[in-house]
Structure 1
Amino acid sequence: MKKLAILSIACLLLTLHARSQGCVAIRSTGGFCTRDQALSHDSTKWLLSVSNRYFKSFRHFVGTEEQKQRIEQGTQVINHAYTLDLALFRNLKNGWSIGLDVPVIANVRSSMYEHGGNGVKNARHSTHAFGVGDIRFAVYKWLFDQTTMPKGNIQAGLGLKLPTGDYRYQDFFIKNDSTRVLGPVDQSIQLGDGGTGFTTEINAYYNFTENFGVYGNFYYLFNPREQNGVSTARGGAVSADAIKYGTSVMSVPDQMMIRAGASASFKKFTFSAGVRDECEPSKDVIGGSMGFRRPGYIISIEPGVNYQFKKATVYAYVPFAVKRNRTQSVADKLKTADTGVYTQGDAAFADYLVNIGASFKF
């Protein structure tokens, strides 16, 4: 079997939105990088990828320590996040291709503290966000001639992420039976981040035999804009601490994703298993890092399966989290230095996420 399907989460990811497995806003969906794609590059003009990503985050972590009392007390924040990612690629000559990625996002966030308050009876309510996310354009190049490198190849990509998603999305926060306050929803369910960024990608594979190979994907989103000006007060008054430590408005963070694993093909099926790391760093590579963000990373074991038709491939990947870490933000470090008391915020993470989709050649 010559076709080893390798799902690259990077592909336009995020439209910027690489987005996440929870309150850590890593907005990411799927793209495509396969041996078959490299072999048929000159004969296949177009590739359409339709990906669906869903997760439910509800487990709170400070660092790597789970705050189990949040579930016991019923105060946990629950995010339901769904992204339909539409990616269209046009193959050009000499291994070049261009791509357009458009995500459609539907998020729901259920909490108590944002509404009536933790511990208050009937205080749990939900906020919502729905619409198109940040659109991304990208250029790709297979680095080696497939005729001279039949067993493997490397694809490099460079993209431009546009702030097309509504990063000021608002909904009502229900404070009590008679009071509803309109304000920007939490950063984790916003449709965009408000920044114009650029992405770098490396997608690679190597086949040891006709039926067995390895793969790797790397994706990084550079977001030079420091803050987007959107209030974190949810329609209320900004706290003195938020002003002092720079978290009164939302940050525009970088994003990163790394995947690596092995694939085995049997007839039209390809089974894969690998490791996946999604990360929102506390500091950006370019530009400042102030503003509110929940930095952290999720390391997952990622099983997957692909089924190959003549002109299409369907796939499913379900990463299961094995390590979740809500790291210190810049604001946490500033407060720690100022007060002498170690400060580290929390974030909610999912146990697993589901990526299901299909690609079509025409």
Structure 2
Amino acid sequence: MLKSTFERTKQYYLRIALLAIPLLSLQELAEAQGCVAIRSTGAVCMKPQAGIESGWQVNMIYRYFRSFRHFVGTEEQKERLENHTEVINWQHTLDLSLVRTFNSRWSLSFNVPVLANTRSSMYEHYGNGSKSPNARQQTHSFGIGDIRFAVYRWLLDPAKSRKGNIQAGLGLKLPTGDYQFQDYFVKNDSTRVLGPVDQSIQLGDGGTGFTTELNGYYNFSHRFSVYGSFYYLFNPREQNGVSTARGGAVSASAVQYGTAVMSVPDQYMVRLGANYVLQHLTLSGGGRMECVPAKDLIGGSGGFRRPGYVISVEPGLSYTFKKLVFFSTVPVALQRNRTQSYGDKLQTQATGVYKQGDAAFADYSINIGMSVRL
């Protein structure tokens, strides 16, 4: 009887360990929140694997959002919607990953994102002041994004630390996504110009980067636990050389303030939350912050970028079978902030007039995925 009770308790803790950080893969899924180009670098469903010595895991995560609300700082530019001059981005991402667990501590992941983006605007085509019924046009991009490899290690022995643990990760991001993707910009009823699409819907950023991660959890009981994760992408390359003129001539101000070509920015994400387990169903709730900083930690920060961050509340749930997990989260934005860019600061210093650009953000995103342990 005592042995049976011990085994049930052991199984409970193993289940909690496997689900304690629900959808930790989504810390890499820092997909673009509209015009602030927080790109997908691949999803890894790296849940705690306490007690699992070796094996393979396949993960698939789909993400969708629609951005259309413009912000300068934290102030929404509501007139953009009223005047119908808003920029709208629709983004669909399918992240595919393969994870090899070598033992109870070490694992390796390989991540490939596939992206399909559509961008609707007036200013890039006929112009916001145009009265033509054809003024609003679309540009598109589709293909594989930046592939990433990452290695992970549990810092504490999972066999001895069943209540809590911390996982560290180090990854390499390769510039496999097309960062020069082009489409046609419609300038009037008879003229179309081929040029690079906006930075927010480019498939990659053009830089070789490396990622660092920390994932942690703590089980207060067999039902209740807390989790946290931190992810940072370092992009040492300053600019990728892609024009921001959309097939036209670069403006003098863009040349003067260093925004004539696209920047290769860093990005990071922080997540904190709690889980509650009900048999095979796990409910989660927490907070999430995604950010493109104005300055990189390594390398220069010149070139065009739209820095900013999104703070969201993140409800989620997952359902576990023996070797299969289905999961979903819906981060809902609480605060959106388009911060002052490096180019904005240069222009402010040169002219004495404060400059801060805008960016479009989504209200929420939808993440749906599954993980299969082979």
Matching of residues 1-362 of structure 1 within 5 Å: 1-2=12-13, 3-4=15-16, 5=19, 6-9=22-25, 13=28, 18-28=30-40, 30-35=43-48, 37-40=49-52, 42=53, 44-120=54-130, 121=132, 122-362=134-374
- Could you tell me which amino acid in structure 2 is paired with residue 7 of structure 1? L
Question: What RMSD over aligned residues (CA atoms) do the two structures have, in Å?
Answer: 1.1
Query: Is the 2:63–2:366 Cα contact (8 Å) retained in structure 1?
Result: yes
SS at match of 2:50: helix
Deviates more, 1:293-302 or 1:117-126: 117-126
Query: Is the 1:30–1:355 Cα contact (8 Å) retained in structure 2?
Result: no
Query: Is the 1:200–1:221 Cα contact (8 Å) retained in structure 2?
Result: yes
Structure-1-length-normalised TM-score = 0.96
Q: What is the rounded CA distance, in whole Å, between the counterparts of 2:192 and 2:51 in structure 1?
A: 58
From the CA coordinates, give the structure whose radius of gyration is larger.
2
Alpha-carbon deviation of 1:31? 2.8
Number of equivalenced pairs = 355
Give ranges in structure 1 of 5+ residues lacking alignment. none
- Could you tell me which amino acid in structure 2 is paired with residue 80 of structure 1? W
SS at match of 2:276: strand
- Could you tell me which amino acid in structure 2 is paired with residue 111 of structure 1? S
Query: Is the 1:276–1:301 Cα contact (8 Å) retained in structure 2?
Result: yes
Alpha-carbon deviation of 1:148? 1.3
Aligned identity (percent) is 65
SS at match of 1:55: strand
Off by >4 Å, runs of 4+ in structure 1: none
Q: What is the rounded CA distance, in whole Å, between the counterparts of 1:151 and 1:128 in structure 2?
A: 47
SS at match of 2:24: coil
SS at match of 1:22: coil
Alpha-carbon deviation of 1:237? 0.3
Q: What is the rounded CA distance, in whole Å, between the counterparts of 1:150 and 1:8 in structure 2?
A: 18
Residues 1:198 and 1:286: Cα distance change in structure 2 (over 3 Å): same
Structure-2-length-normalised TM-score = 0.93
String of CA shifts for 1:181-201, please: whole Å, max 9, x gaps. 000000000000000000001
Alpha-carbon deviation of 1:93? 2.9
Alpha-carbon deviation of 1:10? 5.1
